[in-house]
Structure 1
Amino acid sequence: APARDLPAGTTLTASDVHRVAVPPSAVPSGALRKAAGHTLAGPMRQGEPLTDARVLGDALLHGYGPGTVATPVRIADPDAVRLLHPGDHIDVLTAPTPETPTSTQQPPDAPAGTAKLVVSDVPVIATPPADDDNPQEGALIVLATTRPQALTLTTAGPNLSLTITTR
């Protein structure tokens, strides 16, 4: 269990965790025996059980069903990303950037500058730490999506700014 509250993206060391004695029946499925070297997918509270689903790796997708993929998405506003936590459900939208002609990214009947829904009601599974040295680059999040949703997000285009709304 974490020895203190830890932020998302922490690479665990021996001093970050301590053993907690619990009855065998209370040990959660996927409990980690060795935590050092694992990276937290989201923030954790002191004393919270540390399982494979709380660290970056294949276990992030457990419980989301077959066909679910982990999709990294760069969101334009790092401050908006700081509001997110694993388990939150969000919508991802596009907005045109000033250097992109509107006609290439919006339906013909959409007013100039109109945001467009890319994917709806997708869960956040990880919020890696933002690069505070390059806030203009946005911030990365990892979403649990279907393969078609992942393709839609990937082809949203490098000339579009992605933003989010929470549910």
Structure 2
Amino acid sequence: MPPFAPLRVRGGAQRLRRAMRRKRRAMAAGLAVTAAALAASSAHGPDGPVDPLGPRGERGQGGGVLAAAAPAHERRPAADLVSAPVRIADAATVRLLRPGDRVDVIASVNSPVGEGGEAKVVASGARVAEVPEVLESSVDGGALVVLSVPRTTAAELAGAGASSRLTVVMC
């Protein structure tokens, strides 16, 4: 074989740079398509597509819908379940409860001795979230328990606790 001079390839570094630029462009395009797909899919709420201008065509400062623009019956609640602290009349009953237990809360209207009082189930199947430590220095003899209930039931519990004695029945 005859001797020949070594081959020298010119522009090799530029080809490498060009290939890397193409890969970066492809990556950026892929990320842009993914972001567009995610944005389009999140524009659909649980009831279908969401109108960016809202039900009355009003926009908030950040481009979102004003919360007060929708009537109260159209607004979605912030949370399905809320924590409701409830004072139970019998502290010994509360000591039997553990987090995770299910209870029915019954309100009994305070009536004079000798008269039959009226009882009403305020919350049915409420989950016990927490049982704070019972203080012996409690004036009324009751004890606190935190229940996880729907928002409307929490309002009923608060109203019943202000006007009557509450007790629990374990389910």
Calculate the TM-score normalised by the size of structure 2. Answer: 0.50
The aligned length equals 93
Selected match of 1:156 from 157, 160, 166: 160
4+ runs deviating over 6 angstroms: none
- Is residue 78–residue 135 contact of structure 1 (8 Å, CA) maintained in 2? no
Q: Secondary structure at the match of 1:84?
A: coil
Amino acid paired to 2:101: D
Aligned counterpart for 1:96 among listed residues 100, 104, 109: 109
Name the CA distance, whole Å, in 2 between partners of 1:122 and 1:158: 19
If the length of structure 1 is used for normalisation, what is the TM-score?
0.51
Q: Higher relative contact order at CA 8 Å, sep ≥6: structure 1 or structure 2?
A: 1
Q: What is the aligned-residue identity percentage? A: 38
Give the gaps of 5 or more residues in structure 2.
1-78
Offset at 1:135?
5.5
Which residues in structure 2 correspond to 1:12-161 (within 5 Å)? 66-98=79-111, 112-134=116-138, 136-161=140-165
Contact 1:127–1:142 (CA under 8 A) maintained in structure 2 = yes
In the alignment, residue 153 of structure 1 is paired with which amino acid? L
Unaligned runs of 5+ in 1: 1-65, 103-111
Instruction: Indicate if the aligned counterparts of 1:71 and 1:150 stay in contact, CA closer than 8 A.
Output: yes
Name the amino acid aligned to 1:93: I
Deviation, structure 1 residue 118: 0.5
Tell me the distance in 1 between the aligned counterparts of 2:93 and 2:161: 20
CA RMSD of aligned residues (A): 2.2
Shift of 1:130: 1.0
Deviation at 1:157, TM superposition (A): 4.5
* Equivalent residue, structure 1, for 2:60: none
